[in-house]
Each structure stands twice: as structure tokens, then as C-alpha cells.
């Protein structure tokens, strides 16, 4: 069924699901669905008695694992460690320092009409585009 | 464990809802292709827009994902608090308190953007595919380390400035 739909349409449906998940967390727990904040706060206080962060992360990881297999995501070529490790460190440090990522500042922050989030999204999109362009030049 | 759940029905509701939200979030990421870093890099590769008739070799998929998601959150954040005075399983909405546009915000977003552009993973898709792809697992490990380093550093500098 899905295969007959235009890929952009499927992408928008996926986006709507992401928006609905964010709404669910706001309506149910009054929390912003910011993946980087949820992850880093769970890591920083792993034994905190309120374990909703771990429950959310478990859903995200288990869901990604089960559904990712079901939809037969193409396996990607393994990329070098000297690229993946610095990239992961930058994302980890940057999202904690800047207080959010694509979900917290992007999906939720833009939905809340937060100027702060708009600045963050503009910045990480622009730097991401510059980085890809530079990498393309270097390759 | 059972006793704790019985003692506080809110707790079971909170955990069930948080787990469900995580599942739906993952479904959205997988369906939209965001767990495939090449699609994300194809979006960030903006100069490819000049290669051939619009949109050239540029992949606008992520814009549709973001558009679909923000359409929902615009409604959600405008209406939820008007329709429900308190969340289902909590006493209050936790509004982000900070509104400043400052160096940590811009500097952090810039570092994040650089890492995102290098590998094509942001935190959600990395976690959602960490058990499927070795690349995502390695990236996620480094990301968690980066988060811990930054958290530790920030809490130390906060103690000094206080």
C-alpha cells in the first residue's frame, strides 16, 4: 500500500506521527519531546525515581528496531570510525550546550513559536549544509 | 514493583504513555526515512539543487517530515493547555523557562549542525536505529559520551559561577 504513495507524502505522514508523539508526551506528561534533553537528563541522573525518560527511550529504541526491520531499511555501507566518533561527540556536546536538537528545537520549539528555537534550527540547518558541502569538496 | 504501581496508578500511566510516545516517535522516524542517514545528508546537500531542473539532485524529504510534524505541534501547543488544564498524568505542563538567545544556544546548535552534517544522524534517528546499524551504534556511543562530558562540564561551571 505504502509503496504506491509518493515518497514525499509518506515522509509527511511520518512527520505527522512524530508530531503526534510529541503531542502525546505534552498532553500526557506535560513534557517537551526533546530527544537530546530526555537522553542527557536520563544519563545524568540514571537512578532518578521518575523513570518516564527511560520508558520513552525504551519505546524509541525498541520501536526503531522492530519497525526498521519490518520496512526493510536498506543496509548502509559502514562508514569510518574517524568520521562517526567525532560526529557523535559533536552532536552530544552541541545538543546539551544548545539545549536541544531536531526534535526539541525543531518539532516542538517551532510548534511553540519559540524564537530561541527558530534561531537554533536556522543555525544547525545552515552549519549542517555548510558541513556537507565542505565534505563533498574534500571527498 | 507491583506494589509501587498499585500505590501510584499515575506512575503506571506515565510509564505506559511515555513508552507509547517513544514507539510512535520511532514509527514516524522510520516511515519518513529519517533513520537513513543518506536521506538526511541528501537534504543537507543544498548545492545539489543546481544540478538539473528543480530540485536537481537535492532531496527535500526532510522538509516534508518537518512540515508534517510542525503542523501537528502548532495545533498541539496552541490548544492542549486550553482544553486540558493539567496533563493526564502530571500536575503541570513543564514549559521551557529559558527564552534567551545566547552563546550556548548558537554555539551548541553550530556544533550539533557540524556533527549532523558529518554523519547524517541526529539524536532521535541514531537511538531508533542503534540496534539495527553498527554505524548508528558507534555514533550513539560517542553521542552519549559527548552528552555526559558536556553535562559534567556545565554543572561544574555552574557551581563555580554560583
Q: Which among A16, A59, A76 is the nearest to B72, CB-wise?
A: A16
Domain ranges of chain B: 1-95, 99-162
Grid cell, residue B148, equals 555526559
Q: Who wins on pLDDT, B134 or A72? A: B134
Grid cell, residue A29, equals 506528561
Answer whether B82 touches A (CB < 8 Å).
no
Looking at beta carbons, which residues of chain A come within 8 Å of B131? 61, 64-65
| Region A63-82 average pLDDT | 76
pTM: 0.93
Give the CA angle between residues B34, B47, A117 to the nearest 5°.
55
Looking at beta carbons, which residues of chain A come within 8 Å of B117? 127-132, 135
Q: How confident is the model at residue A108 (pLDDT cuts 50, 70, 90)?
A: very high
* Range 3-32 of B in CB contact (< 8 A) with A: 13-32
pLDDT digits (tens, 9 = 90+) for A77-87: 568 899 999 99
pLDDT at A36 over 50: yes
Indicate if the alpha-carbon torsion angle B135, A106, B94, B77 is positive or negative: negative
pLDDT at A34 over 60: yes
Grid cell, residue B40, equals 538526511
Q: Closest Cα to residue B145, out of A73, A122, A87?
A: A87
Task: Yes or no: say if B108 and A105 are a contact pair by the CB < 8 Å rule.
Answer: no
Compute mean pLDDT per 10 residues along chain B, 162 residues long, and list them: 56 95 97 93 95 92 97 97 94 90 97 98 97 93 98 82 48
Three-state DSSP string of chain B: CHHHHHHCHHHHHHHHHHHHHHHHHHHHHHHHCCCCHHHHHHHHCHHHHHCCCCCCCCCCHHHHHHHHHHHHHHHHHHHHHHHCCCCCCCCCCCCCCCCCCCHHHHHHHHHHHHHHHHHCCCHHHHHHCCCCCHHHHHHHHHHHHHHHHHHHHHHHHHHHHC
Amino acid at each position: 500500500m505504502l509503496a504506491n504513495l509518493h515518497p514525499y507524502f509518506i515522509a509527511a505522514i511520518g512527520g505527522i506521527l512524530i508530531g503526534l508523539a510529541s503531542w502525546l508526551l505534552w498532553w500526557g506528561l506535560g513534557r517537551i519531546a526533546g530527544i537530546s534533553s530526555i537522553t542527557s537528563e536520563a544519563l545524568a541522573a540514571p537512578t532518578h525515581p521518575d523513570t518516564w525518560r527511560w520508558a520513552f527511550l525504551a519505546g524509541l529504541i525498541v520501536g526503531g528496531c522492530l519497525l526498521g526491520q519490518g520496512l526493510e531499511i536498506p543496509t548502509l555501507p559502514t562508514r569510518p570510525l574517524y568520521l562517526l566518533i567525532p560526529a557523535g561527540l559533536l552532536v552530544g556536546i552541541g545538543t546539551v550546550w544548545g539545549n536541544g536538537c531536531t526534535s526539541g528545537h525543531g518539532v516542538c520549539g517551532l510548534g511553540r513559536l519559540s524564537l530561541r528555537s527558530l534561531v537554533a534550527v536556522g543555525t544547525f540547518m545552515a552549519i549542517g549544509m555548510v558541513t556537507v558541502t565542505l565534505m563533498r569538496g574534500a571527498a | 514493583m507491583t506494589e509501587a504501581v498499585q500505590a501510584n496508578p499515575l506512575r503506571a500511566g506515565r510509564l505506559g504513555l511515555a513508552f507509547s510516545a517513544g514507539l510512535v516517535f520511532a514509527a514516524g522516524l522510520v516511515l519518513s526515512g529519517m533513520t537513513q542517514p543518506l536521506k538526511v545528508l541528501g537534504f543537507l546537500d543544498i548545492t545539489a539543487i543546481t544540478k538539473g531542473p528543480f530540485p536537481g539532485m537535492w532531496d527535500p524529504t526532510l522538509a516534508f517530515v518537518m512540515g508534517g510534524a510542525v503542523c501537528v505541534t502548532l495545533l498541539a501547543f496552541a490548544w492542549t493547555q486550553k482544553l486540558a488544564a493539567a496533563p493526564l498524568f502530571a500536575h503541570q505542563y513543564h514549559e521551557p523557562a529559558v527564552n534567551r538567545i545566547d552563546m550556548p544556544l548558537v554555539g551548541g546548535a553550530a556544533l550539533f549542525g557540524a556533527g549532523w552534517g558529518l554523519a547524517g544522524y541526529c539524536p532521535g534517528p541514531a537511538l531508533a536505529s542503534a540496534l539495527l546499524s553498527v554505524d548508528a551504534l558507534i555514533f550513539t556511543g560517542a553521542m552519549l559520551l559527548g552528552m555526559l562530558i558536556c553535562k559534567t562540564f556545565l554543572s561544574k561551571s555552574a557551581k563555580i559561577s554560583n
